[in-house]
Amino acid sequence: MKIATKIFISAAFILAIAFNIGSSMFIKDNFDHSIKMYTEISINEYYTQKYIFKTQVNSDMLQGVSINERYLENLAFDMIDKGLWHDKYNQIKLSDVEVFTTDTKISTDLIIRKPDDIVSSVIENDNKNILIISSLIITDFDIITFTQGVDITHVFMERNRQLRSMFFISIFIISISSLLLFIISKFLTSNIKKLTKATNEMTNGCYDNEIIIKGNDEITILFNDFNTMIKSIKDNIQQLDNNIKNREDFVTNFSHELKTPMTAIIGYSELLLRNNWADEKVTEAATYIFTEGKRLELLSKKMLDLMQLDNENIIMTPNNLISIINKSVDSTSVLIKDNNCNINVECDELIVAQCHNQMIIALLINLIENGLKACDYCKDIDIKVEDEDNNIKISVIDHGHGIDDEHITLITQPFYMVDRSRKGNSTGIGLSFASKIALLHNTDLNFESKIDHGTCVSFRLKKYYE
């Protein structure tokens, strides 16, 4: 059963019960009020008639009239003829013996416990509803039971009429309300159908259908959360696709990088084995083998460092930046000397950053080496440190060939090289390694480059406060 049908049936059922209970209570209250009102009126009238009857009996007793059955019967007829008493539903008993009753006889089991008590009850007589009122009249000789009945059938008929009217009105109201409830339930569940459709499309691999609805109720919150979930799933899938592609590129590039030195090593080794070369040729071949072997050693070292960074949990400590920069420059001093260039450092000696000492040194070494490879002979490298309130910006600036915009977003991928003709001893992993270190420090590498003017690579570290 659909949720719209469940809402419709439940609401219609509750409405029907509530309406019928409310209407029944209203009719009952109205009926009880009418009975009470007619009882009070009838009792007041009864008091008057009883007073007249009792006064006449006492008066005749004082005059010596015998109070017997015939006397009471004649007195009753006399009161009826004079219009002082009803001509129906009346009864007089003398010592529990009926001495008079009207044409319409009544039977009652009312029990009168005290002389002053007036008791009443509603009985059914000949398909009529009669309000019976009775009490005792005490004389010197006997006890007279004076009973009077009032036809209140119209009160019961009015109640029955109201019940019938309520039945038809309830059918009409419930029918109209059910129609409205059906429309409302369809409207309320229409958005859920959208959710069902979107979910089915998700199972088929479609994550592009964002559900847009207006409002601030629970359904809207649910749909907003659903949209957030779809976006998150879509982003994760995209990330997985990117990771797969990156891994495929990584394997391809790694295979290529490994193949080149291996081919050279195998080729020169075969030449050494097959030819009787002079010492000069042997030395040249051995040099090639040694150079390519060193490249493989460097490649394996960089690969190992890169893999270790993926599972690294680093501890940040306060470090003086000028000390870190000087150590980085010292580590690249041979390469700097070979390129006949200088490293220009602009840094306040008192600036302290919250970082991992050895990792930042490694990051700066990679940036300096890349800057030297991008420069022509005798061009300097600038290292600039800037204070930015809570952060410290570190920039490594070369004055080399520059990088095209199309390469900027790719240069941190493993084995990616802008110009392979200037590869030298490069493994293509340095910037990827540096980018991972930056990421572990909750920052990233920012590249600004202009062709024939050079490249600026910058990153930020958290400033340390004592």
Q: Give the mean pLDDT of the chain.
A: 79
CA distance 157 to 160: 5
| Residue 400: burial class (beta carbons within 10 Å; 0-12, 13-18, 19+) | buried
Which of 311, 330, 352 lies at the terminal end of a domain, its last residue? 311
What is the β-pairing status of strands 343-346 and 381-388? parallel
CA distance 32 to 321: 96
Q: Give me the half-sphere count of Cα atoms (radius 13 Å) on the Cβ side of residue 410.
A: 13
Q: Would you call 377 helix, strand, or coil by DSSP?
A: coil
Q: 430 — alpha (psi -120 to 50), left (phi > 0) or beta?
A: alpha
Lowest average pLDDT, out of 16-30, 283-297, 367-381, goes to 283-297
Instruction: Place 95 in a pLDDT band, splitting at 50, 70 and 90.
Output: confident
CA distance 122 to 103: 19
Between 314 and 404, the higher pLDDT residue? 404
Q: Decide if pLDDT at 458 tops 90.
A: yes
Instruction: Place 294 in a pLDDT band, splitting at 50, 70 and 90.
Output: low
In a domain, 146, yes or no: yes
CATH number at residue 320: 3.30.565.10
Distance set, CA 97 to CA 88, 275, 406, 421 (Å): 19, 157, 124, 139
Same domain, 365 and 307: no
Lowest average pLDDT, out of 144-158, 231-245, 290-304, goes to 290-304
Alpha helices in 275-332 (DSSP H): 279-310, 321-331
Q: Identify the residue whose tokens are 């009020």.
A: 33
What is the β-pairing status of strands 391-398 and 352-355? unpaired
Instruction: Place 130 in a pLDDT band, splitting at 50, 70 and 90.
Output: confident
Same domain, 346 and 456: yes
Same domain, 19 and 152: yes
State the average pLDDT over residues 272-299.
66
Q: Identify the residue whose tokens are 């930042």.
A: 360
Domain interval for residue 280 = 207-311
Check residue 410 and give its pLDDT.
80
Check residue 128 and give its pLDDT.
86
Q: What is the pTM of this model?
A: 0.45
Same domain, 385 and 297: no
The DSSP output letter for 339 is T
CA distance 107 to 101: 10
Instruction: Place 423 in a pLDDT band, splitting at 50, 70 and 90.
Output: very low
Same domain, 339 and 294: no
Same domain, 8 and 140: yes
**To the nearest whole percent, how much of the chain has pLDDT over 90?**
13
State the average pLDDT over residues 342-351.
90
Instruction: Place 408 in a pLDDT band, splitting at 50, 70 and 90.
Output: confident
User: What are 206's strand-pairing partners?
Assistant: none
State the average pLDDT over residues 363-392.
86
Q: For residues 411 and 418, is the Cβ–Cβ distance under 8 A?
A: yes
Question: Which tokens in the block code for residue 314?
Answer: 């680093």
Check residue 199 and give its pLDDT.
74
Question: Which tokens in the block code for residue 213?
Answer: 């609805």
In a domain, 261, yes or no: yes
Q: For residues 345-367, b (16+ Cβ closer than 10 Å) or e, as one string? A: bebeeebbbebbbebbbbbbbbb
Check residue 318 and give its pLDDT.
93
Most confident of the ranges 176-180, 194-198, 343-347 = 343-347
Same domain, 325 and 300: no
Q: How many domains does the chain have?
A: 3
Q: Decide if pLDDT at 446 tops 70.
A: yes
Check residue 84 and give its pLDDT.
76
Same domain, 320 and 297: no
Most confident of the ranges 307-316, 388-397, 398-407 = 388-397
Same domain, 318 and 358: yes
Q: Decide if pLDDT at 328 tops 70.
A: yes
pLDDT tens per residue, range 144-190 = 888 888 888 999 999 899 888 888 888 888 888 888 888 877 777 77
DSSP H or E stretch at residue 41: helix 3-62
- The full DSSP string for 210-252 is ------SSHHHHHHHHHHHHHHHHHHHHHHHHHHHHHHHHHHH
Distance set, CA 50 to CA 36, 205, 212, 362 (Å): 20, 95, 83, 122
In a domain, 83, yes or no: yes
Nearest CA to 76 out of 1, 145, 158, 8 is that of: 145
Instruction: Place 254 in a pLDDT band, splitting at 50, 70 and 90.
Output: low
Question: Which tokens in the block code for residue 144?
Answer: 């007279």
Between 19 and 293, the higher pLDDT residue? 19
Which of 99, 126, 161 lies at the terminal end of a domain, its last residue? 161
Same domain, 104 and 227: no
Same domain, 40 and 154: yes
In a domain, 150, yes or no: yes
In a domain, 64, yes or no: yes
Check residue 29 and give its pLDDT.
92
In a domain, 412, yes or no: yes
Check residue 86 and give its pLDDT.
72
Q: Decide if pLDDT at 321 tops 90.
A: yes
Q: Decide if pLDDT at 356 tops 50.
A: yes
Q: Max CA-CA distance within the chain?
A: 178
Q: For residues 227 and 235, is the Cβ–Cβ distance under 8 A?
A: no
Check residue 250 and give its pLDDT.
59
In a domain, 188, yes or no: no
Nearest CA to 108 out of 91, 95, 84, 94 is that of: 91
Same domain, 305 and 325: no
Lowest average pLDDT, out of 23-27, 65-69, 211-215, 297-301, goes to 297-301
In a domain, 177, yes or no: no
Which of 251, 285, 311 lies at the terminal end of a domain, its last residue? 311
